[in-house]
Amino acid sequence: MGEFLKSLIFALVLLPSVAFSQGNAPKYSNEFLAIGLGARALGMSGAYVAAVSDATAAYWNPAGLQALTSKFQINLMHSEYFAGIAKYDYGALAARIDSQSVISFTVIRFGVDDIPDTSELLDANGNINYDRIKSFSAIDNAFLLSYARRLRENLFLGGSFKVVHRKVGDFAKAWGFGIDAGIRYNKGKWLMAAQVRDGSSTFNAWSFNLSEAQRNAFNATGNQIPENTLERTQPSVILGAARNFKLGDKFGVLAELDLQTTFDGMRNTLIRDKNFSMSPLLGVEANYRKLIFLRGGMGNFTSQINDAGTAREISFQPNIGLGLKIKNFMIDYALTNIGASVFYSNVFSLRFDIQKANSNAK
């Protein structure tokens, strides 16, 4: 196992370095994939790389798929942002192939529908005609095919191949491809994990098909007409450690601390350099007989100069959540946001386990 761990450390260091050396790219490409999945994880502020044990592992850490205790599992989630303007939905199906491996398929959609298109508001005579107003949708989709496998008794490895499709009406669309990889090691009550997100970089190829009226609208408003381009999401690395605590016969606590590192230049995080930024994530989950769950977390830590310009202040985003397990059903709720607004949103997710698996997955 020593040689394997050495190879893992080499990959964790090399992949982001190689991708960064390929040149600078926009920092916030495919940001809809940075929101997170599942009310349990979001209630814990995304500190979930080590503890994940359901189909959402395809996103958080593919190696965590091996923790499935059922033959099949279905996960669903819905949330709305910006006062219901944006809809964020997720669905996944995971299936255990055998005691050593699990496969899953995931669909993610973040969309804003019924956006007015006023590019043809004026008719041929220059008169305003509201009947000419159309509507379109701006939709971001992602599809993940994931696989996890047990390598040794307590060592698991997994990966996700993702396809990204983004569309803005009929006049702009993009296709992208990327790979995530993760590893998890269990040691008693401790869970330790690492994930490389967009390990090979995720490339989006944008193409535009603007009508004459839309081009005229760009020119009239002084905006640059977009051109076909290639966009790249650079790698990030998340390291996590979690521990289970038993408090008597009825109560238990799970605590996790993650460290997320990005390699797309300086961000407004606690630890940063011109080439990388690091930010902690902290999540806690208390349970009663593993039937009722109360969750909380802290994330989105930022460090900035105060208004007086005399000192640096640290701020963070708190999140909370609840969970209820009823036989094979798991209902989760989180109160959170995507870090872009002071307004919090309600997130609901469902999990349904089908057929108990005959495996010793942990």
Tell me the domains of the chain and their CATH numbers. 2-356 (2.40.160.40)
**Is-contact 333 321, C-beta < 8 A?**
yes
Computed over every residue of the chain, the mean pLDDT equals: 84
State the Cα–Cα distance between residues 269 and 281, nearest whole angstrom: 12
**Is-contact 132 117, C-beta < 8 A?**
no
CA angle 61, 62, 67 (to 5 degrees): 95
pLDDT digit string, tens, across residues 270-309: 888 888 889 999 999 999 999 999 999 998 888 777 666 6
Q: Which residue has the tokens 């450690």?
A: 241
The b/e string for 220-257 (b: 16+ C-beta within 10 A; e otherwise) is eeeeeeeeeeebbbbbbbbbbbbbeeeeeeeebebbbb
List of residues 6+ apart from 21 with CB closer than 8 A: none
**Is-contact 251 245, C-beta < 8 A?**
no
Q: Which residue has the tokens 């940063």?
A: 272
> Alpha-carbon torsion 185, 321, 91, 235, what sign?
negative
One-letter amino acid of 194 = A
Q: Which residue has the tokens 């940075």?
A: 34
CA angle 266, 269, 270 (to 5 degrees): 120
Q: What are phi and psi of 34, to 5 degrees?
A: -100, 0
pLDDT score of 313? 77
pLDDT score of 238? 97
> pTM of the full predicted structure?
0.85
State the Cα–Cα distance between residues 138 and 118, nearest whole angstrom: 15
Q: H-helix or E-strand containing 239? A: strand 236-247
Tens-binned pLDDT, residue by residue, of the chain (362 aa): 444 343 343 333 333 333 333 444 455 578 889 899 999 999 999 999 999 999 999 999 999 999 999 999 999 999 988 778 889 999 999 999 999 999 999 999 999 988 887 767 776 777 777 777 788 889 999 999 999 999 998 999 999 999 999 998 888 899 999 999 999 999 989 999 999 999 878 888 888 887 776 677 677 677 777 777 888 888 999 999 999 999 988 999 999 999 999 888 888 888 888 888 899 999 999 999 999 999 999 988 887 776 666 667 788 889 999 999 999 999 999 998 765 556 788 999 999 999 886 645 55
**Is-contact 174 206, C-beta < 8 A?**
yes
pLDDT digit string, tens, across residues 104-150: 999 999 999 888 877 677 767 777 777 777 888 899 999 999 999 99
- Other C-beta atoms lying within 10 Å of the C-beta of residue 201: 22
